[in-house]
Amino acid sequence: MNLEFAKTVDRTIGALANRLLAISSRVGRIVRPVREVDDVRTILLVKLWGMGNLVLLYPVFTRIREAYPNARIVLLTLECNRSLGERHPGIDEVLPLRIDSWRGVAFGFPGLVRRLRRQRPDLVLDFEQFCHLSGILAQLSGGAQRIGFGLPGTSRGGAYHVRVGYREDRHMGEVFTDIARAAGVRPFAYRLEPVPVTDEEERAADARVGAADEDVERVLIHAGSGDNFPGRRWPAESYAEVAARLLDRDPRVRILLSGVASEVGLVESIRAELPRDRTVDLVGATTLGELAAILGRCRLVLSNDTGPVHLAGAMGVPVFGFYGPNTPVLYGPLGARAHAFYLALPCSPCITNANGKTSSCRMPVCMRQITVDDVLARIDASRVLTPSAPTPLGGRAAR
């Protein structure tokens, strides 16, 4: 499915559908009494897009479970995020939405709505920031109390009984807590939580990259950015140069290259510049749990502004993230050993939740002007890589 076209449909048809449903809901409240919520038995959580967003929501889900220990908690998310939702111990059921094709959406939508209504949610918490589809589904669920962001410039506000003010001057993880607090969760100190990994996934990680206790300095590079706006990518040749120089400096360094299947060409352009015997190609070859286990074996992660930044942070790995079109204030890596590269040019950020994360920029100088020397200097200053003796013979390994 073309993501930009889907956004256009959501902004137009989705906005209209949201308005009509909101009007219908207001009329309904006039002709029949409103059911007050005094006993929360079922909670519907809505977060469709963004693996990284779901990682950020893990601690929020934990606090919701603590606040409502006896409630049944259901998560509505995209099919591609199902595994992440099912891993959280506080989630009882995941309802997946498939969007791989318009035909699949059209034929699957009625059945999904029926499943939502059968849940009879007493409380609906919609964590989407700008998507109108989530507001439509929240209303169609029949939830007695619906809470979501009232983002200016959208038609989402009418979908909710309680509208939470949306802010872009705090990290998104903290912003998500505002929805939970509006649902009765007490304030708490926000910090990422690790994603659970099975023994089988640990063994798979051993087979792919080696055991965690090996004397190897693993550096994972995630050079892609998913389907949304490739201008978020630091140049592939810059990633290749950083990797080559790290390999030159320490014979124990191994470079792991991750990405989705559609990024094979991008990743291969980096691997072609590196010695094959010291690189591991993980593109399209790992499940989410296996990737989490592999990240736990890494000394360092270099990634664009996308999901693995937050997954690595959740697994306690030092993360260096590249930002420009997006701001690290909102989506930067978290943790004591997290670092964000951001030049704060006058045109940055150009993608925000307020504009649907869409940009017309075709020359992202905000990313291209981040230099390899700056990145290496920051890595050295952080001391995340263990010092070692010089590479034997002093030269670069044969390619």
Residue range 284-304: mean pLDDT, rounded: 96
Query: Number of C-alpha atoms within 13 angstroms, CB side, residue 37?
Result: 18
Say if residue 17 is in the same domain as residue 61.
Answer: yes
Distances in Å between the alpha carbon of 302 and those of 60, 116, 118, 246, 357?
26, 39, 44, 12, 22
Residue range 255-272: mean pLDDT, rounded: 96
Strand order in the sheet with 162-164: 93-97, 72-78, 42-46, 123-126, 145-149, 162-164
Domain boundary among 182, 211, 230: 182
pLDDT-derived band at 193, boundaries 50, 70, 90:
very high
Say if residue 45 is in the same domain as residue 94.
Answer: yes
Inform me whether the pLDDT recorded for 307 exceeds 60: yes
pLDDT-derived band at 105, boundaries 50, 70, 90:
confident
The CATH number assigned to the domain holding 333 equals: 3.40.50.2000
pLDDT-derived band at 393, boundaries 50, 70, 90:
very low
- If you search the block for the tokens 């009007």, which residue do you land on? 23
Identify the pLDDT of residue 109.
Answer: 86
Residue range 248-270: mean pLDDT, rounded: 96
CB 296 within 8 A of CB 312: no
Task: Tell me if 192 is assigned to some domain.
Answer: no
Identify the pLDDT of residue 38.
Answer: 81
CB 366 within 8 A of CB 348: yes
Residue 39 region by backbone torsions, left for phi larger than 0, else alpha for psi between -120 and 50, else beta: beta
> Looking at per-residue confidence, does 17 or 176 come out higher?
176
Say if residue 237 is in the same domain as residue 380.
Answer: yes
Identify the pLDDT of residue 102.
Answer: 73
Task: Tell me if 190 is assigned to some domain.
Answer: no
Domain boundary among 151, 182, 213: 182
Say if residue 216 is in the same domain as residue 148.
Answer: no
Inform me whether the pLDDT recorded for 226 exceeds 90: no
Say if residue 227 is in the same domain as residue 158.
Answer: no
127: nearest Cα among 70, 185, 176: 176
Residue range 98-115: mean pLDDT, rounded: 82
Inform me whether the pLDDT recorded for 391 exceeds 50: no
95: nearest Cα among 124, 115, 68: 115
Identify the pLDDT of residue 399.
Answer: 38
Say if residue 258 is in the same domain as residue 128.
Answer: no
Task: Tell me if 82 is assigned to some domain.
Answer: yes
Say if residue 168 is in the same domain as residue 252.
Answer: no
pLDDT-derived band at 26, boundaries 50, 70, 90:
low
Task: Tell me if 376 is assigned to some domain.
Answer: yes
| Domain count for the chain | 2
Task: Tell me if 60 is assigned to some domain.
Answer: yes
Say if residue 127 is in the same domain as residue 250.
Answer: no
Residue range 23-50: mean pLDDT, rounded: 77
Inform me whether the pLDDT recorded for 31 exceeds 50: no
Say if residue 229 is in the same domain as residue 334.
Answer: yes
Task: Tell me if 210 is assigned to some domain.
Answer: yes
Which residue range forms the structural domain that includes residue 389? 201-394
Task: Tell me if 193 is assigned to some domain.
Answer: no
User: What confidence tens digit (pLDDT) does each residue in 108-157 have?
Assistant: 888 999 999 999 999 999 999 988 899 999 999 999 999 999 877 677 77
Domain boundary among 120, 148, 182: 182
Interior angle at CA 238, CA 387 and CA 388, nearest 5: 10
Say if residue 171 is in the same domain as residue 248.
Answer: no
Task: Tell me if 196 is assigned to some domain.
Answer: no
Rounded Cα–Cα distance for residues 180 and 76 (Å): 16
Say if residue 253 is in the same domain as residue 369.
Answer: yes
Say if residue 241 is in the same domain as residue 126.
Answer: no
User: What confidence tens digit (pLDDT) does each residue in 336-376 have?
Assistant: 889 999 999 999 999 988 888 889 899 999 999 999 999 99
Look at 21-35, 143-157, 305-319 and tell me which has the smallest mean pLDDT. 21-35
Identify the pLDDT of residue 35.
Answer: 67
